[in-house]
Structures are given as C-alpha cells and as structure tokens.
Chain A
Amino acid sequence: MLRFLLHRGGQALIAAFGVVTLVFFIQRLTGDPTALLLPETATQADIEAMRATLGLDRPLGVQYLDFLRDMVTFDLGRSFVQNAPAWDIIASRIPQTLQLAAGALAVALLIGLPLGLLMALTRGRAVSRWIMGLVLACQSMPTFWSGIMMILVFGVWLRWLPSSGTGTLAHLVMPSIALGLLSLATYARITRSAVLDELGKDYVRSARARGVGIRRLVSRHLMRNSAIPVISITALEISQLLAGAVIVETVFAWPGLGLLTVQSIAARDFVVVQAVVLLGAFVTIFANLAADILYSVVDPRVRLEGK
C-alpha cells in the first residue's frame, strides 16, 4: 500500500510539474497583461515601466527559475491584476467551486443512478428506451442555453429561485442542475450496464430462482457490486466538474475557479493561471488515486500494485 502510494504520488508530482511548466511557457506566448492594466492613454514608456514593475522584462529563463524557486517554497506569487496574493484569490473561490461540484454530483448521482437501475430492470421494454432518450436529451443542450432558460423560467417568471449569485442553498439549485445534467447520462448509462452485468451472474439467477425479491436483491447486492464503475467515473467527473464549470459559472455569476481561470487568462494574469492549473492538476491526479484506493475498499478482490 505504501509503495503504491509513493509510486503514484511520485508520478503525480512529475505530471503536475510538466503541466505547470507547459503552462508557464505557452501562456507567455500570448502577450502580457501590461496593455490591459494601463489606461488607453499610456505611452510605450509607461508600458515598459509597468513591465519592469511586474518583472516581465527579465529573460524568460530567469523568470522560470524564479517561479520554480517560489514553487518549492510554496509561494504561488502575487496576482498582477488584483494586487493580492494568488493563493488568497484562489482560496476565496474554492468553497464556491466545491459547493457547485457537490451540488452537480448530487444531481447526477441522485437522478442518474436510479434511472440507470430502472433502465436495467426494464430492459428491452419501451420504458427503458424512453428513459434513455430523456437522459440523453438532458445532455444535448448547450449549458449557456439551458442555463439562461432556467433563469428566465424559475428566476424571472415563477420567481421560485434567485436568478443568479451565491449565498443560500436556493442559489445553488439551478447551477447544480445545469451542471449535473451533463454528467447524469454518463451515470445512468454506467449504472445500467453494470447492473445488467450483475443480473447475468449466477448468484443473481439462483437467488431469483429461490424467490428472492428484486427489491431485496437490489438493496443487498446489486448496488454494492455495481459500485466500482460508478466510483471510477466519479473520479473523472469530479476533476471535470471542478475545472469544467466555466460556462455554468459565467451564466449564473457563480464565482468559482472556472470563471477565475477564464478571467485570469483573459487578463493574462499569469500567476493566477499557473496556480489554478497547478491546483487542477493535483485534483485530477488525486481524484484518480482516491478512486483506485476506494476500489480496494469496496471490492477486496482488487489489489493495489505498484504498476
């Protein structure tokens, strides 16, 4: 177990290092933030001066070495634009991002799993096809469209929910649904095929032959034994939910990390971009690691190995 963790942890560090290095250099190909920071009337001399203030006039290699030194000391640097430490800015967004990811995951799991189960149990019947169609329809709309429609219907017309922003549980409902719908179909499909696999197994057949009710089977065995694929998908989904909520966050004015990333890239706030990317890389990698460990908990037959 320890060897496994060390091995995977080492690989994770290397991958994260690769990501930030790549991001460090490629984003510097796209210009710099000075022209945006300065008023329109700024002269070329003003721009040079601002570049020097931000340390962007130094050779790229020197900047990179500095960056590495800061990384080693866990110093993420200061935002060029917001005049505050990058970590403070990111930390303020993390709770929002976690809330939204949790909300979306809850929507996807609470609706996706039962639907998947239902589809497996009604396999071959028209009901199953209709459910699948419905589930697929949910992820056939761009979120920037379904999002604003939800706002107009539930926020403006019915006034059941706040139209945008954060603060209360009610604020969380619409963004969670908008984001969760995308993962819902994945969950429904995975659950369906996992349950179908289990239904074909001998123990289920013999149990059913003995007259064990389907409800009992589902609650006792099926859900538990179908958990592995669901867990592995969850690991992938979490990292996507954390990074991939840009459009939902934009539409609902939800101040999460996705929106921060886009705004920081748009402002060429390199320091913040690097920090977000680093965080994202770690989350992606550790979500996968956690999934691997969970497998062995759920299913003791799976053994953790170094490779």
Chain B
Amino acid sequence: MKRKIDPIKSEVIARFLLATAEEMGATLMRTAFSPNIKERADCSTAIFDVAGQVIALAQRVPIHLGSMVGAVDEILKRFPMDEILPGDMFVANDPYNGGGTHLPDINVIAPVFKDKRIVAFVANIAHHADVGGMVPGSEAAVCKSIYQEGIRIPPVRIMRAGKVNRDVFDIILLNSRTPDERVGDLNAQFAANTVGARSVLQLFDRYGLKETQEAIAGYLDFTEKRFRAAINKLPRGRYVAEDFLDGNADGETCAIKLALTIGKGRMDFDFTGSGKQLESARNIPYRALLATVYTVAKAMLDPEVPANAGYYRTLHTKAPPGCVVGPVPPAAIGCRSISASVLGDVIANALSQAMPNKALAGSGPHHLFVLSGTDPRTGVYFVDYETVAGGMGARANRDGVDGVRVHASGSSNLPSEALEHAYPFRVERYALWDESSGPGQYRGGAGVIRDYRVLADDIVVSLSSERQHVPSPGMAGGGSGACGAFVMNPDTPQEKVLPSAAADIPLPRGSVLRICTPAGAGYGDARKRTITAVEKDVVEGRISPDYSSRTYLEGA
C-alpha cells in the first residue's frame, strides 16, 4: 500500500477493463453454440495482469470467481514467457492442473502482447455440456475418480500463432459425446479472447505501459483497502461452524468444519477437521473452495466490491490435503457446485455470528440430473443437462428467496417450452414446493417441484444432489427446510423414491420423474412471525391453514 497511486486514473482504467471483460462475455454468449452457455450463461471472462492476478472479471456464475485463480501461474510454470508467442492460446480444464473447478469448465487463456512483450492475459471459462467420462454430461455424483469424469486437460496450446492447433483440438472433440457443439463453443471462446486482447492492447497503447500498469496495481490496492475497511467493521475473534454433506453410503455424512478468525483487515478460513475426501464426485477442489469463500464473503460484507485479486488478498484459506474441501487426485469433483452450496452455508453461518443483523440461515442447493437417450422424433442421440434450484435461507430481517440458485452457483433453468422442443419429455408441473420452507420469524425460500413425463423408449437419467438426508439448518430458533428427493411415478402405486446419487437409471416411456429440491431454512422463532405474513402465505396457498396453525400459532 505504499505505492503512489492516482484515484482517478485507476477508476478510469478499471472501468475500461471491466467494459472489456463484459465485451468478451457478450461475444462469448453471442457466438457460443450450446444452450448451456447461451441460454444458461454458464461462462465467465477475465483479464489478468502479467503476474497472473485477476484484475477484471465479468462473471455470470459466482463459482467462476475463483475458477481462474492461478490459471496463468500454471501456464507460466510449464511454458517460459519467451516461448509464448503472439496468437497463442492455452486450454485447460483439470482442477488439479491449472483448470477450473470441474472438467466441463474449459478455460481458454491468451497472452496480450505489446511490442513483443506480454503485458496481460485474457481468459474465459465456459461450461461444456459433455467432455466424455462415464456419464453423459460428464458430471455425476456416482463418479469415484476424476478419470471417470472425462478428459483431463493440463494447460496446453490450443492455438499457435493465431492458428488452431488441430492436435489438441481433435483430441478434445473425440472425447466428447457432442463434438459439434464443442467446435462451436471453443470457437466462441477463441473469439472472446481475440476481442478482449485487442481491447486491452488499446488501453496500453493509449496510456502507455508504465502508467497503465501502475494504475492497475493501484486499482487492486484500492479494492484491497475497501474490503479491509469492511472487515474492520466486524468484531474480531474466532467463529466456528459446521455442516454435513451426504457421506459415502446411505445414512453416512461427511462434515465440513470451519474455524473463521477475523483479524485486523483480514479473515482466515481454516477447514481443518473436515471429513475425508469422498468416494463420489461431491468433493470441492481448491478453486471451488476459494470461489465459495470469495462469493459468500463479498455477499455478506460488501456486495459491490469489484471482483478482483485486490480483495482476494484479504481472505486466507486453509484446507488440509485429502479432506472433502481439499481433495487430492484422483478424487472426483464433478458435482462440486451442489456440495459447495452446503460449504457456502458453513461460511455464511460463521460470518453470521460476527454480523448477526445480516445473518443468513442454511439454504437448499439445486439438484442436478442428466437425461439422455434418443429422440424418437429425429432419431438423434441427445444429452440434456439440467439443474433445478432449491430455496435460499432466511436472513435476520427477511424471508429467504423462493426457487433460486444459492451461494456460488447461479446458472439459469431451461424453459419448459424450449425443453419440449429439444428433447422427448413433457413437463407436467413446474412449481414452487408448498410448505417446504423452513419455518421461522422469517421463513426460508421454498424448494421447487418439476415433473418430467418420458416420451421415448431408451431414456436413462443420472442424479446428483445434497440435502436429501441432512436438511438446511435453521438459525436463531428457525426450523430446517425440507429435504429434496428424486421420485419415479409419484402419486401412483408404482411410486419409487430414487437414490440421491445414481447413474443410468432407466426411465421407461410414459413414466414420470419428479424432482423436489431442498428448501431454505428459517430464521428466528416461528411463533414470532407476524400474523400478516402468515396470513399472506395462507391466502397465496404457500401453506395450508392446518400447517399454519400447527407451525406458527401453537403455543403462541
């Protein structure tokens, strides 16, 4: 913080860089091919300084906040600066080797050259619908090893001097169940970086190398200072929290333990004592851990702080190798965004103790399922990767939000009408799940129910979830939210509850798959809820009169 920095130039250059990152994002979404990127916006774009620090990030999914941290370092470890040429681009997806947080997220990174010298890097990350592995969609809780989850790509050149490196490109395509989509999406990722590099170069040309670099350094310092100021408003001390993921077998659980220390201008998140890494794909790799810490800290302390390495510097994270939030290869990690939602609850819980008036109760993570088979209308094999949101936990002063993605996760749903055009299903119900909310003075956000009628013969589904056994915990006397469930043929004699994690379950033609997602927990004693709020929920059919008297009125 000793640098002499210009608060005006720094803001100007920061605005420019952010606009560039947004422009890269717009290009990526405009030119991408798969619904995952276009419709669900599962992608982010970033600019790094030459030392690999994130200086601007246009994230559309918060888990990408940390996904690109250290990505440039990994490239520079493998490729000396002087071997990198203008027009080169690197690709990586392996979380243990310079990739993102799971294999479907493919990073593409490009150097920006000014006068034969690297002055910055531009990068983007996009979720590809399939990168091989044992299940369509490359993401299933049942995977026991990362080798089952798809192709692992360390940082390698995918572009050489402006030309696609077919050697690498073709290997990626061959490993995907949907290679045509991969071509379109990778091309879009290249286009985004090309646009970004051009724009960053303009900035350096306009202000000169030294002035631009100083202003960028200054901007990161300003961001750091701002977040330190937010931390310093909290009482210093040690705060402890824990919650549980589903374990290796039915009925088992796996703890996430956190000791948070709030010090002068810094916070230390220590996850020592957390359970051992799981034999399923719900482990949370290092960058997903960082992303969740960054996301929840920002949301709780200063939502508007710019997303860059400046504020990352104030947050220190420790997770022992081999634990569920610090897995080592070959631990599987594909479904990390579901378990990271539980992790988010643990972090929010510890922070809530330090900031009780902004407290946040436990949330219901989304459920993930991948339907695949052949569409009888076209004879074409398809992979339909979908998520259905749960509900957000209540806060100390308001109800939780119904039916939303929580913490670091955030991609959109697929509209039912779009789904029915694209795949052989009929959605028979897509609704908020009544009475699922955790009760409280402020109630949790409701979970969601979505029913799929199968209209083809060879459909299989793989299922991934959390909080089907351990509900979202209430806070300050609030109740838990409902647990989620996967049910086949609900409300019929053939009704069958499916496992919380499974692969390749056949769904016969005419059968119904019901997804019920977990709800958010409540805050405060339910009997303190205002009559007006209870009545409103009754009138709107969110709870029955019976439920309301049982939950909110008895003992009052």
Whether chains A and B associate is no
Residues of B within 8 A of A (CB): none
